[in-house]
Structure 1
């Protein structure tokens, strides 16, 4: 983000601008922008103290997912099944760096044992994968297994809205197939990884990214 700010300050065109890094790099900011853009997303609550977080959980019920607003690879994301687990996990966060004391609580979405990673280059999904896992976390870094996912018009339209909501150029959009709501977007990645997408979809994503960069630079 700092190098992006420095380059933009010099008048350089940066793919995924500073705003994209700020908006997509924070789950709370992303959630708010997706809601404003009319993109279906899991219900979420933010609390700024242990007591208010527990009160929200008592009111809304369990299970819930607690996430750091800034983070990746599924780290420090926990499932809160009951009040005992919530008290223990939230108390531990209260002793961490202040950013982890922002308690972002997200609904536990009922879905198949997978989610979807769609790679956007401009206004097009160039490839998408299912990330399958027997665990409720599907991150590839935690053992998720990739397989190709067919891109639908509904998915692409939703991803275009999500990309524009965070002012992105090249992003990874993560979606879930909710039993109640259909497709929902739960994250937008401004520094998306694509190694496994290239591997299973056999799409040369780096070349498409370079072609896009050269095109908009003219």
Structure 2
């Protein structure tokens, strides 16, 4: 069945600047697209395949994104990024494990499931140590711990929270970086854009909490590590965070499966939304030519 005339669903509960630019990029290329708000979406399983050529997942809620991707995939609608990629990237520990399995340079890390064991892991990593929630974005609930007293207070607070995900303690050595790290945007095997995220009044560099974006040169070293990190979690269009220490060594840190990119546009002028549209169309055409189903790609 020829589905090329069906619209591509852009799945997002919020239309931010990024999603608006993506929709406009599809339209400029003559590609039918449709905004699908998952909060208003109903899928009757008995009706079979939903009426979409494919779905570009831009939903910021990880639980909604994975649920919609699983439903669409099982009913024959391929999703970009794939369900398996969403699953891994939505969990910082699983992302680190994927990097470790791929042999990538990463900060020394540990996982623990109790306060005493987490304190023991901190001692082995050495202070300062970074404590991260396994889920979440924008640097929220990420803390830099300088000693056991501070560490115990933070860990006991986490352990008292009702969300069981906060009871998984993911710890990393603190990389002494020159006030900045790197966000690279990877499409398949290509880095299409990269920025420095510069700390402003905070040790964290996240642009969502005030970090400033400036252009970053796309070097062969950056490309090699960013693409390898993207492949380690399953590939797609991804925001790959790299740390860089004061000696210039790079480390794979995290991957965002629904990256914001307005800061990258403003800093570099790159047409990131256009890259996403071109990448998505090429991926969909490749899937259609090969007859693959999303359910087989988990």
Partner of 2:188: 122
In the alignment, structure 1 segments of 5+ residues that lack a partner are none
1:62 is the counterpart of 2:127: yes
Which structure is richer in relative contact order (CA contacts within 8 A, separation 6 or more)?
1
The question of 1:109 aligning with 2:175 is answered yes
Determine helix, strand or coil for the equivalent of 2:79.
coil
Indicate conservation of the 8 Å contact 2:194/2:215, yes or no: yes
1:127: how far off?
Answer: 0.6
Structure 2 match to 1:77 = 142
TM-score between the two structures when normalised by the length of structure 2? 0.71
**How many pairs does the alignment contain?**
218
Pair 1:156-2:223 in alignment: yes
Q: Deviations over 1:162-213 (max 9, x none)?
A: 1111112100000111246811011011111101101111011111111111
Whole-Å separation in 1 of the counterparts to 2:92 and 2:144:
16
Contact 1:16 1:167 (8 Å CA) reproduced: no
Instruction: State whether residues 168 and 190 of structure 1, in contact with CA within 8 Å, keep that contact through their aligned partners in structure 2.
Output: no
Q: Over the residues paired in the alignment, what is the CA RMSD in angstroms?
A: 1.2
- Please give the TM-score of this superposition, normalised by the length of structure 1: 0.97
Distance in 2 separating the partners of 1:91 and 1:114: 30
Look up the match of 1:48. 113
**Cα shift readout 1:145-168 (whole Å, capped 9, x = no counterpart):** 010000001111111111111112
Change (3 A) 1:93 1:10: same
Who wins on radius of gyration, i.e. which is larger?
2
2:251 is aligned, of 180, 184, 208, to 184
